[in-house]
DNA sequence: CGGCGCACCTGAGTGC
DNA sequence: TGCACTCAGGTGCGCC
């Protein structure tokens, strides 16, 4: 569900409210998310601590505590993280609650339970974060995200470029919606094997990616069925989607009907006329 | 190592 | 109204 823009919108929504708040009490459901919720660590490393800040790496939110422990939250397909009045009723599928010292409660709701909650204890946080980050690829909104870097990452690989963009070990934060949109913007067919892309095409991808992601963040993310920002408001970028879930609708550039296919087990949309294997 | 299929879950939508 | 079926924004495992 949430991809980089939705996770970033969540982070930015929480940022004005979390730093300097103390976590008064932590509670959690007994349901297993992707992993069991680490109750003992939450009680020991998070409860009672002050929140320093909230960062994002790939699609993970990193809540940094004053003792240097880190609460790591992934929203999976249906996760939402938001602040609520502490005495408001909890909802079905609320799995984690952090009561803050201003009578607000940070709550994680996740109906499908593909999300995750982990804690890096203060003593090992540094090492665990380094190991974690080492498994993740380039951040699309950071300086190193260049055509040249992408080209280098793809050398020796033959996977379809869409799968490459969605492979978190190479590129962080891009999921199915934005992979489709980025390749449309770059005018590249999603099935093109990465070894066939030339340097101009990598530049097109490197340029289109942050453009699309920033536009989505600005619009508050995409609310397809259930994404809500931390304020409980939906996003509006779905109104700007040009190929995702638009089978048969006219391409915004050439009016050809958008086509649907499957790649890596994920539904894939593209314009058969604007996105050809051999561009330029 | 690379790439694929599949499993993990609930809920919304569709068609009969 | 109800039932059966399909599909969904992610990730990581086992397997070839």
| Strand C nucleotides with an atom less than 7 Å from a protein beta carbon | 7-12
Question: Rounded to two decimals, what is the model's pTM?
Answer: 0.96
Res A106: pLDDT: 97
Q: Which residues touch strand B (CB under 7 A)?
A: A 32, 34, 78, 92-93, 111-114, 156-160, 163, 225-226, 264-265
Instruction: Judge whether residue A85 contacts strand C, using its CB and a 7 Å cut-off.
Output: no
Instruction: Name the nucleotide nearest A58; use CA and C1'.
Output: C10
Q: Kindly list the catalytic residues of A.
A: 2-3, 59, 266
Instruction: Name the nucleotide nearest A226; use CA and C1'.
Output: C9
Q: How far is the CA of A142 from the C1' of C15 (A)?
A: 36
Report the distance separating Cα A129 and Cα A63, nearest Å: 12
Q: Which of residues 5-34 of A touch strand C (CB under 7 A)?
A: 6, 34
Res A225: pLDDT: 67
Instruction: Judge whether residue A77 contacts strand C, using its CB and a 7 Å cut-off.
Output: yes
Res A140: pLDDT: 97
Looking at the C1' of nucleotide C12, which residue has the nearest alpha carbon? A34
Q: How far is the CA of A226 from the C1' of C7 (A)?
A: 15
Looking at the C1' of nucleotide C9, which residue has the nearest alpha carbon? A1
Burial class (CB in 10 A: 0-12, 13-18, 19+), A68: middle
Q: Which of residues 167-226 of A touch strand C (CB under 7 A)?
A: 168, 175-177, 221-226
Res A279: pLDDT: 43
Res A280: pLDDT: 38
Res A254: pLDDT: 97
Q: How far is the CA of A249 from the C1' of C6 (A)?
A: 21
| Strand B nucleotides with an atom less than 7 Å from a protein beta carbon | 2-13
Instruction: Name the nucleotide nearest A113; use CA and C1'.
Output: B9
pLDDT tens for chain A, 280 residues: list them: 599 999 999 999 999 999 999 999 999 999 999 999 999 999 999 999 999 999 999 999 999 999 999 999 999 999 999 999 999 999 999 999 999 999 999 999 999 999 999 999 999 999 999 999 999 999 999 999 999 999 999 998 999 999 999 999 999 999 999 999 999 999 999 999 999 999 999 999 999 999 999 999 999 988 776 666 667 678 888 889 999 999 999 999 999 999 999 999 999 999 999 998 654 3
Instruction: Judge whether residue A58 contacts strand C, using its CB and a 7 Å cut-off.
Output: yes
């Amino acid at each position: 569900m949430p991809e980089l823009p939705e996770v970033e919108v969540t982070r930015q929504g929480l940022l004005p409210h979390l730093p300097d708040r103390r976590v008064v009490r932590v509670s959690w459901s007994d349901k297993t998310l992707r992993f069991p919720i680490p109750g003992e660590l939450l009680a020991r490393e998070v409860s009672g601590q002050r929140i320093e800040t909230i960062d994002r790496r790939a699609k993970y939110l990193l809540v940094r505590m004053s003792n240097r422990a880190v609460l790591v939250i992934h929203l999976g397909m249906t996760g939402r993280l938001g602040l609520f009045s502490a005495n408001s009723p909890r909802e079905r599928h609320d799995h984690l609650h952090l009561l803050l010292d201003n009578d607000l409660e940070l709550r994680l709701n996740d109906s499908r339970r593909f999300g995750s909650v982990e804690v890096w204890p203060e003593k090992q946080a540094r090492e665990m974060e380094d190991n974690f980050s080492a498994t993740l690829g380039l951040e699309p909104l950071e300086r190193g995200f260049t055509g040249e870097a992408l080209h280098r990452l793809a050398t020796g690989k033959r996977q379809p470029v869409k799968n490459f963009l969605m492979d978190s070990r190479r590129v962080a934060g891009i999921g199915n919606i934005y992979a489709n949109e980025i390749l449309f913007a770059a005018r590249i067919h999603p099935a093109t094997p990465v070894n066939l892309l030339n340097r101009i095409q990598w530049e097109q991808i490197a340029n289109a990616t942050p453009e699309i992601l920033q536009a989505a963040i600005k619009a508050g993310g995409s609310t397809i069925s259930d994404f809500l920002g931390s304020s409980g408001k939906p996003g509006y970028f779905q109104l700007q989607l040009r190929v995702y879930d638009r089978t048969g609708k006219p391409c915004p550039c050439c009016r050809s009907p958008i086509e649907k296919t499957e790649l890596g087990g994920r539904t894939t949309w593209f314009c058969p006329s604007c996105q050809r294997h051999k561009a330029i």
